[in-house]
Amino acid sequence: MTPEPTPFNHRPDPVLGSALRRALSPGDQAAFVARVMAALEGARAAHWDVLASWARAGLAAAALAVILGGLFVGRAGLTPASIDDVLTLAAGPSAPVLVGASSPPDPSFVLPSAEER
Amino acid sequence: MARAVAGDRGAFGVLVERYAAAVRRVARAVLGDPDDADDAAQDAFLSAFVKLRQYDPQRPFGPWLMRIAANAATDRRRRRAVRRAEPLDGLTAGGPQPDAETQRRDLGRRLREALAELPERRRTAVVLFDVEGYSHAEIGRILGIPEGTVRSEVFHARRALRVLLADWKEDAE
């Protein structure tokens, strides 16, 4: 039997340590190590799944932004012609220009111009 | 160690093999139940892998890992519902067993029961000191308590556990 311990005893007690080691000794070591490594792989896969889901959401958002941007730019290209543009062009072959315009010209400008002809 | 810090799983696997038994024992000292202890030990290793970049290679790895393990076990102990799940190990396995082996298993069971009666910090301290061989100063850093408190905890734990050990020796003789 080892001597009675005191608060100042700085050496491990081999008898008690050995008994405790036996009492607490875990089961299959190899199985536990394999379990930890499998959990590590699982955590890694889950990590990539999260990143992939974020990437998918990011790509979807980017695609939507591109589509909306394209629509905006396209619509900007279809800005209605101003009445001045129409009247300037009307000095030449007026009918096709007026028919092709996306918005009707102001009649108060068009009619006097026609009367002058 | 450097390879493990760099994310090499094989190198980390070597660390797991080297420290698994100690981490599982400490977790079991805290939790009692071996399945809960293994869950906590696994949590500790996964947590350690994530935190490896925070580890200072100038310091010993064991106490750093044990601190994570003790915290993982304590967290799990706080989370779980209080339940008694003390296994009887080989005592329920059936069939006659040699006396010495029966007595050894009986001592193990009684030691675990006695450990379970101790405050958590006390039983962790005595296991880290007498089983795992850490110094009082290292245990102080692991548990986040002063070195003098560690000495006191180990002393009280030993006094309680040695009574059991003495009884067992007398019975065995």
- Sketch the domain layout of chain B as residue ranges: 2-79, 98-172
CB contact under 8 A, B21 and A29: yes
What pLDDT band is residue A94 in, cutting at 50, 70 and 90? Answer: low
Contact B40, B69 (CB under 8 A): yes
**Domain B2-79 belongs in CATH node 1.10.1740.10:** yes
Residue B86 is predicted with a pLDDT of 47
Residues of B in contact with A12 (CB under 8 A): 129-131, 133
3-class DSSP state for residue B85?
coil
- The token duo for A78 is 């279809």
Model confidence at B43: pLDDT above 80:
yes
Rounded-to-integer distance, Cα A105 and Cα A80, Å: 10
CA dihedral B100, B103, B107, B108 (to 10 degrees): 70
Encode pLDDT of B120-150 as tens digits.
999 999 999 999 999 999 999 999 999 999 9
Model confidence at B87: pLDDT above 60:
no
Task: Specify the fold of B98-172.
Answer: Arc Repressor Mutant, subunit A (1.10.10)
**A97 in any annotated domain:** yes
Q: How many domains is chain A built from?
A: 1
* Range B92-95, long-range pairs (CB < 8 A, 24+ positions): none
**A91 in any annotated domain:** yes
Range(s) of the domain holding residue A95: 80-117
Backbone angles phi, psi at A49, to 5 degrees: -60, -45
Residue A60 is predicted with a pLDDT of 80
CB contact under 8 A, B42 and A27: no
State the smallest CA–CA distance between residue A50 and chain B in angstroms. Answer: 16
Which of the listed ranges A16-20, A111-115, B3-7, B76-80 does the model predict with the highest average pLDDT?
A16-20
Contact A25, B25 (CB under 8 A): yes
CB contact under 8 A, A19 and B135: no
Quickly count: other Cβ atoms within 10 Å of residue B77's Cβ. Answer: 17
What pLDDT band is residue A43 in, cutting at 50, 70 and 90? Answer: confident
